[in-house]
């Protein structure tokens, strides 16, 4: 019953076909975000898309193939959202602007405090190693965008030469993920802001302190 | 078909009945931990327990009732594990011992880096408000155990009078949860240790600095 459909890069896909395929992925991603991956059935996806099940199978041989594309779409959206801001990070102030955009963005949107990538990782890492590896790569990419900004801060002398951009980035993304989970569970934005503030304070602890400031209290 | 079974505190439950009920909850908790809540079917639970489905229905009218008890069991285990250690916290050194026991405990066990409570919260918060509220209460209890220790550190003068034990506890649990998620996804303990170190550094930033240390560099 499950017919292997054309790959994304297949020349057999018309513009209309590509649009339908994209719509299926976006619909599945949204359903999986709102109710979980396992709780989302292919029947729900076809109903929400207004297509037939055979149309779905034309593009995706099975749910796993669809999940693979949902992860790829989430990675693409994460990069589209974070890269433009993180590529600008050259100072603590830039990093604070990124933090503010996350907190304010959620406050102004109807979206729940829930990281689409974190939610996929939590549900899939324990039982699908292919998905786990893909999601680990997404986290590494996210950390890399942040680490590049922190490395620029170190090069410019804002951060101590001993600061480790890679390790700081891991800590910041961990705080972000934990903040999302607590905020969603408690339906309260405070844990999200508190966790991000801790992460930024952690980076700030590596800001080079001018010698003048250290001795000022004794003058 | 779903017959409402006796409640936990029902006098109708014999010692043997209570033991069977407990075994069902522990088995369901383990399956849900390893593969997720939605992915765990009642058929899998009865198979793993070696009981009949009607026996299961005798104790639990439906999956939701079983999930409620799984959450209660996870809360009980969290308190049993963390309370003895967190009740001893009176100094930074005590907090570091707690951190070390978490990192070492995972290193020496076969358990995946996965918080049973965080995993339940991630999967259930978005689609079951009763479960979300129960899990929010578990997180609050966990934060409370930690906040009590931090309050003792503040009372003894180790932490600044301005330190907020409740807010610090939220930050530490967020770091713990994010660390678990990254460690599980990357199959690497480092993000877990890095996140916990950030959290403890965050608490340490509120340790009262003796005046002598501040001025030592100028002597």
Chunked into runs of 10 residues, chain B (219 residues) has average pLDDT values of 43 86 97 95 97 96 97 98 97 97 88 94 96 98 98 96 97 98 97 98 92 47
CA–CA separation, B88 and B166 (whole Å): 17
Question: A15 exposed, middle or buried (CB, 10 Å; 0-12, 13-18, 19+)?
Answer: exposed
CATH fold of A68-209 reads Tetracycline Repressor; domain 2 (1.10.357)
Q: Which of B127, B139, B174 sits opposite A175 (nearest CB)?
A: B174
DSSP 3-state assignment of A97? helix
- pLDDT for position A216: 45
A17 pLDDT more than 50: yes
CA–CA separation, B56 and B172 (whole Å): 39
Q: Once rounded to an integer, what is the mean pLDDT over residues A200-212?
A: 86
Q: Are A132 and B185 an interchain contact pair (Cβ–Cβ within 8 Å)? A: yes
Question: B13 exposed, middle or buried (CB, 10 Å; 0-12, 13-18, 19+)?
Answer: middle
- pLDDT for position B4: 39
Per the structure block, which two tokens stand in for A25? 């992925």
A185 pLDDT more than 50: yes
User: pLDDT tens across A107-128, in order?
Assistant: 888 888 999 999 999 999 999 9
CA–CA separation, B159 and B170 (whole Å): 17
Which residues of chain A make contact with B35, given a CB cutoff of 8 A? Answer: 126-127
CATH fold of B1-61 reads Arc Repressor Mutant, subunit A (1.10.10)
Q: Are A35 and B127 an interchain contact pair (Cβ–Cβ within 8 Å)? A: yes
How far does the CA of residue B118 sit from the closest CA of chain A (Å)? 7
Task: For residue A131, give the H/E element and its range.
Answer: helix A129-155
Beta bridge partners of A207: A159
DSSP B169-203: HHHHHHHHHHHHHHHHHHT-SHHHHHHHHHHHHHH
Which residues of chain A make contact with B185, given a CB cutoff of 8 A? Answer: 121, 125, 132, 135-136, 139
- pLDDT for position A211: 57
Q: Are B171 and A122 an interchain contact pair (Cβ–Cβ within 8 Å)? A: no
Question: Domain ranges in chain B?
Answer: 1-61, 72-208
Beta bridge partners of B207: B159
CA dist B18 to A31, A122, A147, B80, Å? 39, 32, 53, 20
- pLDDT for position B109: 85
Which residues of chain A make contact with B126, given a CB cutoff of 8 A? Answer: 34-36, 112, 114, 119, 184
Q: Are A112 and B126 an interchain contact pair (Cβ–Cβ within 8 Å)? A: yes
Which residues of chain A make contact with B132, given a CB cutoff of 8 A? Answer: 185, 187
CATH fold of B72-208 reads Tetracycline Repressor; domain 2 (1.10.357)
Top residue of B174, B180, B190, B205 to mutate, by most chain A CBs within 10 Å, is: B174
Q: Find the closest chain A residue to B119 by CA distance.
A: A122
Q: Once rounded to an integer, what is the mean pLDDT over residues A169-176?
A: 98
| Phi and psi at residue A159, to the nearest 5° | -100, 150
DSSP B124-143: HTTT-HHHHHHHHHHHHHHH
- pLDDT for position A110: 82
- pLDDT for position A47: 97
Q: Are A122 and B127 an interchain contact pair (Cβ–Cβ within 8 Å)? A: no
Per the structure block, which two tokens stand in for B197? 């170190």
Q: Are A174 and B185 an interchain contact pair (Cβ–Cβ within 8 Å)? A: no
Asked if domains B1-61 and B72-208 share a fold, the reply is no
CA–CA separation, B74 and B67 (whole Å): 10
How far does the CA of residue A16 sit from the closest CA of chain B (Å)? 33
Q: Are A126 and B136 an interchain contact pair (Cβ–Cβ within 8 Å)? A: no
Q: Which of B34, B182, B184 sits opposite A170 (nearest CB)?
A: B182
What percentage of residues in chain A have a pLDDT greater than 70?
90
- pLDDT for position B211: 57
Q: Are B185 and A125 an interchain contact pair (Cβ–Cβ within 8 Å)? A: yes
Q: In angstroms, how far is CA A126 from the centroid of its own chain? A: 19
Q: Once rounded to an integer, what is the mean pLDDT over residues A14-38?
A: 95
Chain A and chain B share a number of CB contacts under 8 A equal to: 161
């Amino acid at each position: 019953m499950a017919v292997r459909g054309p790959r994304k890069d297949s020349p057999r896909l018309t513009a209309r076909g590509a649009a339908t395929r994209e719509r299926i992925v976006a619909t599945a991603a949204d359903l999986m975000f709102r109710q979980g991956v396992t709780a989302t059935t292919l029947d729900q996806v076809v109903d929400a898309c207004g297509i037939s099940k055979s149309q779905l199978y034309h593009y995706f041989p099975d749910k796993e193939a669809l999940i693979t594309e949902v992860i790829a779409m989430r990675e693409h959206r994460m990069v589209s959202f974070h890269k433009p801001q993180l590529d600008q990070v050259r100072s603590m102030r830039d990093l604070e602007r990124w933090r503010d955009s996350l907190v304010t963005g959620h406050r102004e949107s109807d979206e729940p405090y829930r990281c689409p990538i974190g939610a996929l990782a939590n549900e899939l890492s324990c039982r699908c190693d292919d998905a786990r590896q893909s999601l680990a790569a997404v986290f590494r990419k996210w950390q890399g965008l942040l680490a590049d900004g922190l490395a620029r801060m170190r090069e410019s002398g804002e951060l101590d030469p001993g600061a480790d951009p890679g390790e700081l980035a891991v800590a910041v993304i961990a705080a972000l993920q934990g903040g999302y989970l607590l905020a969603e569970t408690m339906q309260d934005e405070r844990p999200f802001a508190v966790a991000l503030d801790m992460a930024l304070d952690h980076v700030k602890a590596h800001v080079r302190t001018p010698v003048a400031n250290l001795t000022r209290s004794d003058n």
